[in-house]
Structure 1
Amino acid sequence: MSEETTESGVWASIKETVKTVVYALLIAGVFRTLFFQPFWIPSGSMKDTLLIGDFLFVNKMAYGYSYASCPSIRLPSIGIDIDAEDFCGFLKGDNDRILGSEPERGDVVVFRHPVTGLDFIKRLVGMPGDRIAMIDGVLHINDQAVGLVPDGAFGELSERQGPQGQFPICMGGLRAPEGEICYKEKYIETLPNGVSHSVLNFMTRETDNVGVFTVPEGHYFFMGDNRDNSTDSRVAQENRGVGFVPYEDIVGRADRVMFSSAGRSMLAFWTWRSDRFFHPID
């Protein structure tokens, strides 16, 4: 076999490899844009429904598609910051969706912050036209208190959690000594449509008494289940909150935890929470 033939074979192999990688990236891009988006839980705002280190796929088909359905690619370590608006900004502005359907009260939803564009995950509690208020830590919808029943306490080990290495906040807003159990009050909240889920409380904060907010048409009101440790619609956007979220800023619905790790890295297999693998999100 000649040297030219050998070189030709090497280049052909390289070309096939490159083509395979390009095709794989294109397929992954289409899959992520149209069907599911991976999402890591970085904070404790949705405890105990979602824990720091939970990994899930966001169902983009649930509510149809808008500019927010396009992927964002952020790799700060190598200087890459491509936003969904860079891909699909031409679709933004009409507050509509393709093949759209309305989310339901009680859904756990990923959405883009209306100002910063960062992805948030919260529970939808207020529909368009609703009057929302918090009175002494109890959610009120259209002037009626939601059902709220004590359900003991939520306990977790006081240790550094997730890549940020933050310790959990315990009753009274304190931090338990490392290695001890950190407790919060737990309640079962039942929304007007019958959806029940747990919420946590650990202290009295300003956001325990806010409103009344009237949700505008085409917008939604979101709150975290860990009520005293959540940046959500109770605080206006100009005050670094979330405010009302437009329909077009919704990315999709979170239905199931696929994988979970309590450590600072997913490679630390001894910190994996196997009991949360494929865990449904209520």
Structure 2
Amino acid sequence: MVDTANSKAATPKTVKPAPKGDSLMESVKTIIMALSIALFLRIFLFQPFNIPSESMRPGLLVGDYLWTSKWDYGYSNASIPFSPPILNGRVMGKAPERGDVVVFKLPSDPRQDYIKRLIGMPGDRIQVVGGQVILNGTPVKQEMLEPETITEQNGNVRTATRFRETLPNGKSYVTYDFETNGMFDDTQVFVVPEGHYFMMGDNRDNSTDSRADPILQSGVGFVPAENLVGRGRIVLLSFDETTRFYLPWTWFTGLRWDRLAVPIR
């Protein structure tokens, strides 16, 4: 006699595959959700950047990959990818602090992102005399440090005079000086307009910034508040000049291990 119950239990059930249309829709929904989350994070929280030039050395090096926080100064069109003109001014705007390392859209070409240190606030009078910043008639404190020999991005080996510069609010950082009579070591007096900021690179002889006329010298000029993207917060990773992304082993040999998760000051 055949056990009918056991015979039925042993019979495998046929599972029908999901219709191809349903599977495709689920994939599309997943992609849209992932892109939406990434866009939200990029607009409102963090945005990644990499350092392509020597202008913020020694604090930031070519090959640094960093996070910029978006909430510090509020949000503007500059906060949104491709900067669509949908906002008027800044939303939830907050004033940056003197000495912040700021990512901003270049006023003469908003397609370009620049990173510099904020030196001048609205209404300030800024001048550079003999390489020293004069802020509202008072020289910014400078302390000379031991010189440092470095290899630049182009392979040149140079010795930099280093200064620790301290702003009136106590913000302190190290600057480089390579020339005693550099192009921007002696400037006119700049009066920062309302709603604008004055930016400078820490590598004072190798930085095109607010000291340079945006028309005559392809400089930055005064930076409108609406152009601020965010505040530089932390260097996540950094790769030296030997790194080649088509050679995976150099991702490790060229990694600057001492610059992992370094706060930006």
Structure with the bigger percentage of helix: 1
- 1:231 maps onto 2:208 in alignment: yes
Match of 2:62 among 39, 44, 52: 52
Any conservation in 2 of the 1:46–1:226 contact (CA below 8 Å)? yes
Q: Counterpart amino acid of 2:92?
A: L
Equivalenced residues, count: 243
Q: Counterpart amino acid of 2:74?
A: G
Match of 1:188 among 160, 164, 188: 164
Matched residue, 2:41: 31
Deviation at 1:18, TM superposition (A): 2.6
Matched residue, 2:85: 89
**What secondary structure is seen at the aligned counterpart in 2 of 1:110?**
strand
Matched residue, 1:99: 92
Give the TM-score of the pair, scaled to structure 1.
Answer: 0.82
- Provide structure 2 residue ranges, at least 5 long, that are not aligned to the other structure: 1-15
Match of 1:249 among 204, 220, 227: 227
Q: Counterpart amino acid of 2:255?
A: W
Matched residue, 1:217: 194
Matched residue, 2:240: 262
**What secondary structure is seen at the aligned counterpart in 2 of 1:238?**
coil
Any conservation in 1 of the 2:101–2:116 contact (CA below 8 Å)? yes
- 1:119 maps onto 2:119 in alignment: no
Higher-Rg structure is: 2
- 1:156 maps onto 2:132 in alignment: no
Any conservation in 1 of the 2:99–2:167 contact (CA below 8 Å)? yes
Match of 1:109 among 102, 106, 115: 102
CA distance in 2, matches of 1:214, 1:157: 36
CA distance in 1, matches of 2:150, 2:254: 14
- 1:21 maps onto 2:31 in alignment: yes
CA distance in 2, matches of 1:39, 1:124: 18
Give the TM-score of the pair, scaled to structure 2.
Answer: 0.87
The share of aligned pairs that are identical, in percent, is 45
CA distance in 1, matches of 2:185, 2:151: 26
Q: Counterpart amino acid of 1:205?
A: G
Matched residue, 1:79: none
- 1:278 maps onto 2:249 in alignment: no
